[in-house]
């Protein structure tokens, strides 16, 4: 559904966008011949099967079958609707799209997401203006006290929500922004008599952006003594807790350059590192680290240095994170700042280079865990707990070699026989779901001949006009492929040119889409003569297949009629068969059965 965005604009965006650049924002790609390959962001894998082809401006994963053009990529990776993906890419490529008028479409779910993001952007501007106005003095003083530099404040678009019930509400109302959208964004809260009031009051505001830079939520830090100290937007159509990493959008390029990411817990830890000129850093937004966050980070790097507090809570957080790191095939380092320093104090006392050095020489999380977290032992109870914890960790390690190494070290540390540990692990460990995504895929068979013909049409758009003229679709035995053929006939006859990858990208996901993408990916160049031969061969084979099937059915009917001794029916079927044979001869050349 293209809706209100003109086709010429979509073409312009497509011609300006480069799929390699776009995908590179989310996936680390390596050149491989004419293509680029990387680890698929849509399924878990250790060897790259995710392929981007600049020649065809498409991507395809040979592991999970996901694929398509630039828009399909944006839709999938950002969970965007089609118009949203177009707008996003339009902004990036500098193509101006006419503002749309309010329409019924505004009310559907897809545009709700767009609207929430829009209201969040507007709110971010409002909060930022407040911070730098006389009303924001207190908040500015607070930031000064924490010594956050102004350029960092502006980089992260920090803002201030003044004390009061309707600052934001009035601001939005003046701009004619529907308040119910602001409510769904979690910025306004219903009060008595169904009136709405500001959720965030007297708080320093942190816009939370997704990996594409869209404001999806806010975090608010109370600058007075009240509770709670931190408050986040509730979940909405665009914001799900534990799926984003604070700062990722601004850090991703530097993460790639440095080859690793620094992971901290809070907004201020992150900003203090920025203060010191260390910008390849992301924060978990105050909640415990999740597997989804690890997967997200895994799109940019497989090396992470996590900063933990040296206290008991930090130790627990490390233990929890270690399992996630192991499960996500992520190489983690545990960085513990000495003497209770926070990153900022540390940099001030010893300098940026010293901090980077500390990070570079930090022990791997596994080492740290075995040496320190497990080090606190002695009593039988403590040993038993350590054993239980490490067993639950071992289960996360997919790689057998690494798993056995870990088992060896744990057994040495605890003085337990390795074999006992191993048998305990295999007893309780679920079968490893390696390549689960690939296995989960339906093995539904798709008629290869019919699919081939559809593919041939797509690669020779000048022949698409012929679909309406021939009756070949009547010989299709798969209703789905027949419908697709009919659709193809109508889509392409009107337009001047035909974009096969775009057409396939727009199909509902399933084995047909997947197989067509793979064909588009693999296809080489045939000369015209070759192509014509392929066409006529495929058409012929489809017809033969159809006749074979009709003959088979007829034969079964005859057997049934003979068994029943129904002679009249037999004669009827026989003449039907003769007609069929005659028809077949005229339709299919060189038939021999
Ligand atoms: Zn994949």
- How many angstroms is it from 57 CA to the middle of ligand 1? 17
Phi/psi of residue 39, nearest 5 degrees: -80, 130
- The phi and psi torsions of 60 (rounded to 5 degrees) equal -155, 135
Rounded CA separation 298/302 (Å): 5
> What's the chain's Rg over C-alpha atoms?
31
Residues with CB under 5 A from ligand 1 (ion): 40, 42-43, 61, 63-64
Q: Helices (H), strands (E): how many in the chain? A: 27, 15
Say how many C-beta atoms besides its own lie within 10 A of residue 92's C-beta: 18
Rounded Cα distance, 19 and 39, in Å: 16
* Parts of the chain with a pLDDT under 50: 1-2, 101-102, 106-107, 432-442, 591-593
CA distance 315 to 123: 38
Distance 45 CA to ligand 1 centre (A): 8
pLDDT of residue 376: 58
User: Bridge partners of 304?
Assistant: 261, 332
150 CA to centre of ligand 1 in angstroms: 42
pLDDT for 496: 61
What is the CA(48)–ligand 1 centre distance, in A? 9
Q: What are phi and psi of 303, to 5 degrees?
A: -125, 125
Distance 491 CA to ligand 1 centre (A): 29
CA of 44 to the centre of ligand 1 (A): 7
443 Cα: distance to centroid of ligand 1 (angstroms): 16
What is d(CA 106, CA 592) in angstroms, rounded to the nearest whole number? 60
Whole-number Å distance, alpha carbon 438 to ligand 1 midpoint, is 8
Closest CA to 287 of 314, 264, 255, 265: 265
What pLDDT shows up at residue 531?
A: 79
Domain 248-370, second-level architecture = 3-Layer(aba) Sandwich (3.40)
Q: Which CATH number fits domain 7-93: 3.40.50.2000, 3.90.580.10, 3.40.109.10, 3.10.290.10?
A: 3.90.580.10
Q: What six digits make up the tokens of 364?
A: 């791997």
Q: What is the whole-number distance in angstroms between the Cα of residue 460 and the centre of ligand 1?
A: 28
* CB burial of residue 277 (10 Å; 0-12, 13-18, 19+): exposed
Q: Return d(Cα 293, Cα 283) in angstroms, integer.
A: 10
- How many whole angstroms from 329 Cα to the centroid of ligand 1? 16
CA of 297 to the centre of ligand 1 (A): 16
| The pLDDT value given to residue 7 | 82
Distance from C-alpha of 284 to C-alpha of 266, rounded to nearest angstrom: 7
- Residue 215 — φ and ψ, nearest 5°? -75, 115
Q: Give the pLDDT confidence score for residue 98 in this predicted structure.
A: 73
pLDDT tens digit string along 417-451? 888 888 877 776 655 433 444 444 445 678 989 99
Torsion angle, CA of 323/326/327/330, rounded to 10 degrees? 130
CA of 322 to the centre of ligand 1 (A): 25
Rounded to an integer, what distance in angstroms lies between the CA atom of residue 68 and that of residue 57? 9
Tokens representing 425 are 């692990």
Query: What pTM was estimated for this model as a whole?
Result: 0.68
User: Which helix or strand (DSSP H or E) is residue 119 part of?
Assistant: helix 109-131
Neighbours of 313 (CB within 10 A): 11
Position 487 scores a pLDDT of 87
What pLDDT, on the 0 to 100 scale, is given for residue 281?
Answer: 96
Distance from the alpha carbon of residue 395 to the mean position of ligand 1, in angstroms: 24
* DSSP-derived secondary structure for 480-521: HHHHHHHHHHHHHHHSSS--HHHHHHTSPSSHHHHHHHHHHH
| Contact yes or no for 429/407 (Cβ under 8 A) | no
Cβ contacts of residue 557 below 8 Å, gap of 6+?
Answer: 573
Between CA 218 and CA 234 the distance in angstroms is: 9
- What pLDDT is attached to residue 139? 95
**The predicted structure's pLDDT at residue 492:** 59
Distance from residue 568's CA to the centre of ligand 1 (Å): 59
How far is ligand 1, taken at its centre, from the CA of residue 28, in Å? 14
pLDDT score, position 438 = 40
Instruction: Tell me how far the alpha carbon of residue 446 lies from the centroid of ligand 1, in angstroms.
Output: 20
Can you give the residue ranges of every domain in the chain? Answer: 7-93, 104-232, 248-370, 374-433, 448-587
CATH class of 104-232: alpha beta
Taking the centre of ligand 1 as the mean of its atom positions, its distance from the CA of residue 54, in whole angstroms, is 18
Please, which residues have CB within 8 angstroms of residue 45's CB and are 6 or more apart in sequence? 39, 63, 435
Kindly provide the residue ranges of all beta strands, DSSP E only, lying in 76-146, ordered along the sequence: none
């Amino acid at each position: 559904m293209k809706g209100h965005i003109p086709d010429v604009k979509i073409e312009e965006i497509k011609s300006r966008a480069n799929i390699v650049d776009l995908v590179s924002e989310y996936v680390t790609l390596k050149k491989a011949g004419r293509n680029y390959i990387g680890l698929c962001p849509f399924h878990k894998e250790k060897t790259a099967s995710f392929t981007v082809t600049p020649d065809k401006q498409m991507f395809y994963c040979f592991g999970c079958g996901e694929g398509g053009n630039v828009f399909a990529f944006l839709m999938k990776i950002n969970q965007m609707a089609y118009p949203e993906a177009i707008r996003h890419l339009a902004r990036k490529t500098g193509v101006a799209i006419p503002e749309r008028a309010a329409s019924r479409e505004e009310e559907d779910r897809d545009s709700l997401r767009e609207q929430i993001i829009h209201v969040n952007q507007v709110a971010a501007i409002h909060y930022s203006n407040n911070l730098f106005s006389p009303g924001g003095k207190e908040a500015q003083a607070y930031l000064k006290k924490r010594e956050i530099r102004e350029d960092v404040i502006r980089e992260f678009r920090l803002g201030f929500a003044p004390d009061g019930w309707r600052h934001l509400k009035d601001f939005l109302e003046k701009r004619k922004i529907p308040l119910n959208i602001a409510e769904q964004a979690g910025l306004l809260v219903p009060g008595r008599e169904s009136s709405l009031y500001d959720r965030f009051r007297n708080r320093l505001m942190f816009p939370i952006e997704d990996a594409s830079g869209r404001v999806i939520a806010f975090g608010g830090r109370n600058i007075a003594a009240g509770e709670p100290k931190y408050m986040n937007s509730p979940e909405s159509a665009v914001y799900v807790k534990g799926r984003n990493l604070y700062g990722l959008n601004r850090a991703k390029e530097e993460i790639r350059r440095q080859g690793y990411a620094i992971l901290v817990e809070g907004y201020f830890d992150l900003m203090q590192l920025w203060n010191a000129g260390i910008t390849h850093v992301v924060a978990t937004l105050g909640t415990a680290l999740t597997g989804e966050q690890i997967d997200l980070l895994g799109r940019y790097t497989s090396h992470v240095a996590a900063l933990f507090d040296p206290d008991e809570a930090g130790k627990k957080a490390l233990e929890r994170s270690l399992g996630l790191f192991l499960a996500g095939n992520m190489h983690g380092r545990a960085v513990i700042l000495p003497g209770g320093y926070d990153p900022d104090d540390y940099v001030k006392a010893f300098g940026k280079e010293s901090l980077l050095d500390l990070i570079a020489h930090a022990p791997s999380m596994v080492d740290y865990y075995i040496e320190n977290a497990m080090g606190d032992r002695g009593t039988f109870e403590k040993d038993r707990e350590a054993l239980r914890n490490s067993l639950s960790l071992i289960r996360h390690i997919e790689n057998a070699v690494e798993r056995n190494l870990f088992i060896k070290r744990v057994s040495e540390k605890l003085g337990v026989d390795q074999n006992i540990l191993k048998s305990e692990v295999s007893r309780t460990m679920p079968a490893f779901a390696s390549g689960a995504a690939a296995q989960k895929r339906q093995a539904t068979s798709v008629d290869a001949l019919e699919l081939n013909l559809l593919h041939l049409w797509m690669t020779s758009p000048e022949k698409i006009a012929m679909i309406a003229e021939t009756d070949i679709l009547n010989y299709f035995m798969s209703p789905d492929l027949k419908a697709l053929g009919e659709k193809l006939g109508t889509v392409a006859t009107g337009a001047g040119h035909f974009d096969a990858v775009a057409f396939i990208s727009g199909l509902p996901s399933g084995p047909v889409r997947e197989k067509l993408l793979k064909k588009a990916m693999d296809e080489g160049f045939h000369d015209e003569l070759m192509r014509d031969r392929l066409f006529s061969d495929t058409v012929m084979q489809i017809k033969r297949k159809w006749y074979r099937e009709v003959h088979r059915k007829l034969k079964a009917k005859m057997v049934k009629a003979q068994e029943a001794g129904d002679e009249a029916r037999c004669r009827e079927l026989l003449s039907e068969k003769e007609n069929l044979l005659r028809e077949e001869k005229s339709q299919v050349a060189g038939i021999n059965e």
